[in-house]
Structure formats: structure tokens, C-alpha cells
Amino acid sequence: MAGQISEADQIKQFKEFLGTYNKITENCFLDCIKDFTSREVKPEEMTCSDHCLQKYLKMTQRISMRFQEYHIQQNEALAAKAGLLSAPR
């Protein structure tokens, strides 16, 4: 069963996804939707919400890349340290 995600982990991931989705939706809605006198979404509100979502996605991607770079550096540092410690004197 290597490589498969347990049902409990799938449920946890889905809950985290829904929490993130709800947070983004609420933040973008509060920032962008200002006029409640019409059932239609105004073009500027649509543009604002598109930009809000794009900004979030780009930020998430950038954080993920930096996090990955950090872990690579940490692993390289640990490998170098382990190499120094295990070298015969």
C-alpha cells in the first residue's frame, strides 16, 4: 500500500482545502464586493476578485518554492556536517 493515502489523511487534506478555499473566498469577497444593490457582479468587482485570487496563488507558489529551497539547503548542510563528523582523523 506504499504511495497510497489513508482515508483519514484524505479527509484531513480535504478539510484543509475547504478551510483555505473558504478563507480565500471570504477575504476576496470582503475586499472586492462593495455594491449590494444589484444581483449582478460589476466588472470592477470581477476584476478585483480575479486579481485577489491570482495574488494568493502566486504568493502560495512563491512560499512553496522558498520552503523547498530552505529544505534543500538544510539537507545539504546536514549532509556536509555528517560527512565531516564521520571522516576519519
Give the dihedral sign, CA 54/59/64/68. positive
Distances (CA, A) of 43 to 32, 39, 48, 59, 64: 11, 13, 9, 24, 32
State residue 1's pLDDT score.
46
Q: Which numeric CATH code is attached to 20-78?
A: 1.10.287.810
Q: From first to last of its 89 residues, what are the pLDDT tens digits of the chain?
A: 456 889 999 999 999 999 999 999 999 999 999 999 999 999 999 999 999 999 999 999 999 999 999 999 998 888 888 876 555 55
One-letter amino acid for residue 69 of the chain? E
Contact criterion met (CB below 8 Å) for 33 and 52: no
Dist CA 15 CA 41 (whole Å)? 29
Dist CA 67 CA 8 (whole Å)? 26
